[in-house]
A and B are shown apart, each in its own frame.
Chain A
Amino acid sequence: MSRQATQRLMFAVITVAAITTVTPIILVVGYIFWQGAPAVSIDFLSTGPREGMRAGGIFPAIVGTLLLTLGTGVIAVPLGIAAAIYLSEYAGDNRATRLIRLAIINLAGIPSVVYGLFGLGLFVLFLRFGTSILAGSLTLAIMTLPVIISTAEEAIRAVPQSFRVVSVSLGGTKWQTIRRVVLPQALPGILTGVILGLERAAGETAPILFTVAAFFLPRLPHSVFDQTMALPYHLFVISTQVPGMPIHIQYGTALVLLTFVLSMNVIATFVRSYYRRRRQW
């Protein structure tokens, strides 16, 4: 076979493989919108489940997921950004820094269900938080941390060195330089990382199984020491644990979860491309 023919063949194979890979993504999202849209109404979004979850809406699960995402953000965002600042601006190239990087890589790789076990062992039992929003948020926050640290560090490193040199030459201290010059420039990139991290936290089920999620709790949580329903766990429950569950409620719940997560994804993509276009360096 001539090399032109080989090239045509291989390019065709690779193109077909790539199309085969991405087509199901469109089908999956499209199918859930198509099947779920009829079930979603104001009533569905604003009332609690009734008749053993076989009727009514998913309001408590939506609120629960919002609260957990918020709680995760409150803990993971400041910690993650601070860690990223340390790694990009302060840390030297030495053993200790390599240890931190190794730890971050490993945190990113630990299975989500193992985070659930850890949260159960430390927050729920040892610290006696019980199955609570606090325990769930802490567990999700530690899981989200590596995503936020790596993206924020990348964003901070991308700020040109000359910006720092100018600030310092004008008499700025190291922290003033970071606070007033580097961070504002890196903000869009950091924001993208934060949203992507929280997106992952919002969609996770395994870490909240034993730390916060309630099977059925039609009222809203009263404090951070209360359990709550959450969208991903609710979808798991109604699609596998409740016999005779009406199918449209299942698809409706999947659609709401998917919309929540994907809109975060779209916002992140938008922030990134908007600021990349406006950036002057």
Chain B
Amino acid sequence: MTPRNLREVVIESLVRAAGYSAVVFVGLIFFFLLREGLPGFAEVSLPALFGSRWYPTEGHYGLLPLIGGSLVVTLGAAAIAVPFGLATAIFISEIAPRWAREILKPLVEILGGLPSVVLGFLGVLVLAPFMRVLLNLPTGLTAFTGSVLLAGMAIPTLVSVAEDALDAVPRNYRDAAVALGASEWQTIWRVTLPAARSGVLTAVMLGIGRAIGETMTVMMVTGNAARLPTTPNSLFLPIRTMTATIAAEMGEVANGSTHYHVLFVIGIVLFVISFIVNLAAGAVVFRRPKRAERVLS
């Protein structure tokens, strides 16, 4: 083999190894979560893990309040982020004049770049006191305050993915609709949005995925009370999420203790949730286009 060919082969294998490293890292992450978390399943029985009390100091490791807390905050965030995010994406992609687009897109990117701890910081100092007065609550550190800030963190993902999906709709779809006498809004609502629906769905899922995994903001503004949310007004009470529990308690537990292992169990739950959300989002992306779509595009 000539030196030149040898170099090609060596470089190709190095680059290939780098490519496969992503698979290795996902495997490593899952392996080390299991390695530290599996003893937790042995030390705490499964029914106990599904208990409704989280008092680690007294040996109660029920995860339901934490899962419920994450659910309430995330649903609240989705209820805000989906309409506002989609409206922003439609505005940027379909309605706004060019100059407005040039202002809005960088602004949304800035929101995406804001560190979560900065949003949490403003949440504690500004938003929570404001919510307390506005909604006449005993404390502003509630699930709802967390939802508002999480919506802000989900919106940049949602807007950019949804906007890409809308942009990818072929020009001739819109031209055809207009030629048939549809108004601009009818074109957006009946043609462009339905044509982009798989991308829009991906956007919504990725946005929600971002919200479930958010840690610092929710830890700072949701009050961290591990109560099982049972009634709708739980949205306006303090709750505690899975992510916040890990972040708040991992620093204080002894390595190898039951509490330590159960925190890794929560990590496994989060990993599995994000895996499912992303698999679902990926399935939409990787889906083979239907025959009709191939013919039309």
Contacts and interface: CB of A to CB of B under 8 A. Distances in A.
Nearest to B281: A105
Given A99-B23, A111-B213, A117 B246 contact: yes
A114 B271 contact: yes
Interface in A231-255: 232-233, 235-236, 239-240, 247, 250, 254
A280 interface: no
A21 B207 CA distance: 15
Contacts of B212: 111
A100 B19 CA distance: 7
A86 B18 contact: yes
A9 B80 CA distance: 21
B33 A103 contact: no
Interface stretch (B47-55, B59-67, B118-126): B118-126
A117 B263 contact: yes
Interface in B104-134: 104, 106-111, 113-122, 124-126
A236 B85 contact: no
- Residue of A11, A20, A98 with most chain B CB atoms under a 10 A cut-off: A11
Contact of A17 (B88, B107, B206, B281): B88
Given A17-B88, A100-B23, A103-B26, A90 B220 contact: no
A163 B217 CA distance: 47
A170 interface: no
Contacts of B206: 109
Contact of A26 (B107, B114, B285): B107
A203 B23 contact: no
Interface residues of B, number: 89
B114 A258 contact: yes
A13 interface: yes
A233 B219 CA distance: 13
Interface string B207-232: 00110111110001000000000000
A24 to B, nearest CB: 7
Interface in B255-297: 255, 263-264, 267, 270-271, 274-275, 277-279, 281-282, 285-286
Interface stretch (A37-45, A50-58, A204-212): A204-212
A22 B104 contact: yes
Given A21-B159, A113-B246, A232-B216, 10 more contacts: A15-B95, A20-B84, A109-B213, A113-B243, A117-B267, A118-B28, A118-B32, A175-B12, A250-B121, A264-B113
Q: Which 7 A/B pairs are nearest by Cβ-Cβ distance? A: A111-B213, A203-B115, A82-B18, A86-B19, A17-B87, A7-B185, A18-B91
Interface of A: 3-4, 6-7, 10-11, 13-15, 17-18, 20-22, 24-26, 28-29, 31-32, 79-80, 82-83, 85-87, 89-91, 98-118, 120-122, 125-126, 142, 145-146, 149, 173-175, 196, 199-200, 202-206, 209-210, 232-233, 235-236, 239-240, 247, 250, 254, 257-258, 261-262, 264-265, 269
